Amino acid sequence: MAEIKTDLLVIGAGSGGLSVAAGASQMGADVTLLEGHKMGGDCLNYGCVPSKALLAAGHAAHAMGAGAAMGITPVAPEVDYAAAKDHVMQVIDQIAPVDSQERFEGFGVRVIREFGRFIAPRKVQAGEDIITARRIVIATGSSPLVPPIKGLQDVPFYTNETLFELREKPAHLIIIGGGPIGMEMAQAHVRLGCKVTVIEAMQALGKDDPELAAIALENLRAEGVEILEDAPAQEIVGQAGNIAVETPKGRVQGTHLLMAVGRKPNIDALDLNKGGIAHTGKGITVDESLRTSDRKVFAIGDVAGGMQFTHVAGYHAGLIIRQALFGLPAKEMTAHIPWATYTDPEIAQVGPTEEQARQIHGDKLEVARFEYAHNDRAIATRRTTGLIKVMVVKGRPVGASIVGHQAGELIATWSLAIVNKVKMSGISAMIAPYPTIAEVNKRAAGAYFSPKLFDNLRVKKVVRLVQRYLL
């Protein structure tokens, strides 16, 4: 048994943990990193990367039958589902070296491939090693939540951690959960030739702006995805290849089952009580600086109980570097954190939705809208399904909601504007190349100013006076 003393102990080699370890080590700290499973965590191996790779395969298949309006004869694609999964694994393999043990050891990080658990405050056991650290960062992420539905324990099912290992194309995939993971996988599979039914206890894409979610869901239904809303799964019966889910709206019969109802923090194996770390079922309790009840122990990413996105974990890592290495204050801000759902059309959000913003700001809120149908690039590429809404208070954007082509790319502009307190006039002054989808953002800002300029009698009087006396 080895006794290790280190400046910084990072528990978990997902996105947040790796960012902390790389930054701290390269800046001169003695860093120890624990990972008992796969380097790269959920995002690389089971989440963001494989899901977007499978969506890309589905997009390629869909494109073969979507060109009639442009003079391209539709052709039914021949889908090799196993080969599509090979593509997914190749994408993971190509990115994996960036997160590898060898790369981080090259940075000077001490990498121990064991799970860690607290045995005392700021003391952790990993395998046969006992590590004492000046500061600790818990970055253990989250795992799929499996709800206690009657009969589920007796039926084979997949989660995002096992779905990408499936090689046989499902004839009829049942997905329980209509959030981002469920809807993305629904569209990917229907485009790859599967029948798909989504069962949602409340509203599909319920965390998004309802107007925008309705646009995305309409397109999913048009492509053949059956979506049952307000239909909680009551009981599941069957066996491999023949599974039935009972709902208040009837029985759904399929061949494969995917559970996509949410995530739970990975805290059960940490023995947090021995480390004096306060926690709840939602995750580790942290303050606005991401400190736990032990001020020298931090928690970041999904395990901290907040927004569950890879880019949030990366953002948290920067806050930890500032505090743990330089002793400088840093507080988490969430107003500028965007997120996206990569269905087609995509949905993206930063800040409050229109409904949320009205509750916060009341009559002070103005909403600027612009439809993709008026964007020339969208017209040229037949991508006119889409809408942007910008929530504005006193001339500054406080939130933006986008549904449409490249929404996930467009939302970054509004995150930049919010965090830097850029006014709508600043967005309006931006020059976007013509013709691009990026003009959607500029035109939304223009839509904010149009009634103030074109429907304003005072402006018209001033213009007439200037024209009368201007030499």
Q: Which residue has the tokens 């208040």?
A: 248
Pair type for strands 346-350 and 338-341 = antiparallel
Residues 220, 231 contacting (CB under 8 angstroms): no
Task: Please state, in angstroms and rounded to a whole number, the distance separating the CA atoms of residues 313 and 307.
Answer: 9
Place of tokens 């993305």: 184
- What's the rounded Cα separation, in Å, for the pair 32 and 39? 14
Instruction: Dump the DSSP string for 272-299.
Output: GGGGT--EETTEE---TT-B-SSTTEEE
Which residues line the annotated binding site for FAD?
52, 116, 140-142, 302
Give phi and psi for 43, each to the nearest 5: -60, -50
Question: Where is the binding site, in residues?
Answer: 52, 116, 140-142, 177-184, 200, 262, 302
The answer to whether 166 touches 85, Cβ cutoff 8 Å, is: yes
Helix pair angle (48-63, 81-95), 10° resolution: 140
In this structure, what token pair is assigned to residue 116? 């860690």
Calpha distance 358→353 (Å, rounded): 9
Residue 77 · residue 64 · CB < 8 Å: yes
The residue type of 190 is: V
Torsion, Cα of 335, 304, 348, 81 (10° steps) = 170
- H or E segment to which residue 228 belongs: strand 226-228
Contacts of 342 (CB under 8 A, 6+ apart): 51, 52, 55, 180, 184, 408
- Helix, strand and coil content of the chain, in percent to the nearest 5, comes to 40, 25, 35
Number of alpha carbons in the 13 Å side-chain half-sphere of residue 189? 28
Binding-site positions for NAD(+): 177-184, 200, 262
Question: What does R_g of the chain's alpha carbons equal in angstroms?
Answer: 25
